């Protein structure tokens, strides 16, 4: 299978490229990435000499480029997105362009130049909004709370519309919070680890009672791969592991693994539109496609802390003054 991956230098995208090359010797990847915020060429430096992997610097808004590339592949997996909620609040126009219009551009290329291409849209649990009890299913209504989640929800709607109107062979995955190697330091887990290593205070929004369900990135990549190869056209698949935990408890566990004291935690003013709890029902993915997590939360978190400890050369250039300032960070993705 020849796969066009967009945003493959990002956290989840780069892990997916590695997973595909490792697990599918008959598959090849063309990775298109504009190398913007959250992208890092170092994520895939070990694929530099891999003949089944090709990198193309480009933007999902570049119709002419995508038109050329989509003719060459059997499938497209769209990871390309702006993901930081805080930035979406201050710069919503950037998120509409990259997340919504970028998805529209890909769909137009599929419709006009490769109707047979298999398309997977990688979305987020944030499109549902928050939920105090129970879990969202794929048929739940969308109630995005911020410009980031609104731009992703709009992209999902375009995917569904193109499936129905133009018969584009697309599916959507919606995942809970990812974590693991190569995650950009602005996100909760890597930022906590890095600040803990440097003996800096760990700021947490509000009272720290916001709840997220954490999914190890390799488990997520397996789910995307299954949906790509076995998922049905027009279907949505939630991806969740059942590891719900408050932000405060998560930070405490990381500090414990690092051997640090909990008095490093400091609570700061909450951000606007901060959802209290996300929770997804992934029984459809589990029953229809046979997916389930392979990694326990405890082992995966320990492995993640160990990776950041052992890979300072990777994250040090990314640990900017903003990352190491007292400002808090996005708790999703």
CA distances 318 to 80, 165, 186, 187, 195, Å, are 19, 43, 9, 12, 13
With vertex at residue 328, the alpha carbon angle to CA 293 and CA 150, rounded to the nearest 5 degrees, is: 65
Question: Helix axis angle, 147-166 relative to 102-113, nearest 10°?
Answer: 10
**Is 325:266 a contact under the CB 8 Å cutoff?**
no
As a 3-state breakdown, the chain gives helix, strand, coil percent values, each rounded to 5, of 45, 20, 40
Catalytic site includes residue 269: no
Please identify which of the residues 53, 119, 128, 148 carries the catalytic annotation: 148
Six-digit token string for 291: 């997916």
Catalytic residue selected from 59, 82, 108, 125: 125
Torsion from C-alpha of 41, 228, 21, 31, nearest 10 degrees? -30
Catalytic residue check, 126: yes
DSSP 316: G
Query: Alpha-carbon distance 86 to 11, whole Å?
Result: 18
- Selecting among 126, 130, 219, 244, the annotated active-site residue is 126
Catalytic (active site) residue 59: no
Q: Which residues are tagged catalytic? A: 125-126, 148
């Amino acid at each position: 299978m020849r796969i066009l991956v967009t945003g493959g230098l990002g956290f989840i995208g780069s892990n997916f490229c590695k997973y595909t090359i490792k697990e599918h010797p008959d598959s090849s990847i063309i990775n298109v990435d504009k190398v913007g915020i959250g992208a890092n060429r170092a994520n895939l430096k070990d694929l530099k000499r891999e003949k089944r992997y090709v990198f193309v610097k480009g933007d999902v808004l570049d119709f002419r480029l995508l038109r050329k590339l989509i003719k060459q592949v059997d499938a497209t997996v769209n990871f390309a997105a702006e993901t930081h909620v805080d930035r979406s609040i201050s710069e919503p126009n950037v998120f509409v362009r990259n997340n919504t219009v970028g998805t529209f551009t890909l769909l137009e290329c599929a419709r006009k130049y490769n109707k047979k291409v298999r398309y997977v849209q990688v979305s987020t649990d944030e499109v549902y909004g928050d939920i105090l009890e129970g879990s969202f299913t794929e048929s739940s209504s969308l109630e995005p709370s911020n410009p980031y989640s609104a731009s992703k929800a709009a992209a999902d709607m375009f995917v569904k519309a193109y499936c129905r109107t133009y018969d584009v062979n697309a599916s959507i995955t919606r995942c809970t919070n990812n974590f693991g190697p190569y995650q950009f330091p602005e996100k909760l887990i890597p930022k906590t680890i890095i600040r803990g290593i440097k003996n800096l205070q760990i700021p947490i929004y509000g009272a720290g009672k916001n709840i997220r369900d954490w999914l190890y990135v390799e488990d997520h990549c397996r789910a995307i791969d299954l949906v790509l190869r076995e998922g049905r056209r027009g279907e949505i698949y939630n991806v969740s592991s059942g590891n719900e935990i408050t932000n405060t408890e998560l930070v405490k566990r990381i500090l414990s693994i690092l051997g640090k004291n909990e008095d490093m935690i400091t609570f700061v003013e909450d951000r606007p539109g901060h959802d209290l709890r996300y929770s997804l029902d992934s029984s459809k993915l589990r029953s229809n496609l046979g997916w389930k997590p392979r990694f326990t939360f405890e082992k995966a978190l320990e492995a993640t802390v160990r990776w950041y400890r052992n890979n300072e050369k990777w994250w040090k250039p990314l640990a900017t003054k903003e990352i190491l300032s007292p400002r808090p960070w996005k708790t999703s993705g």
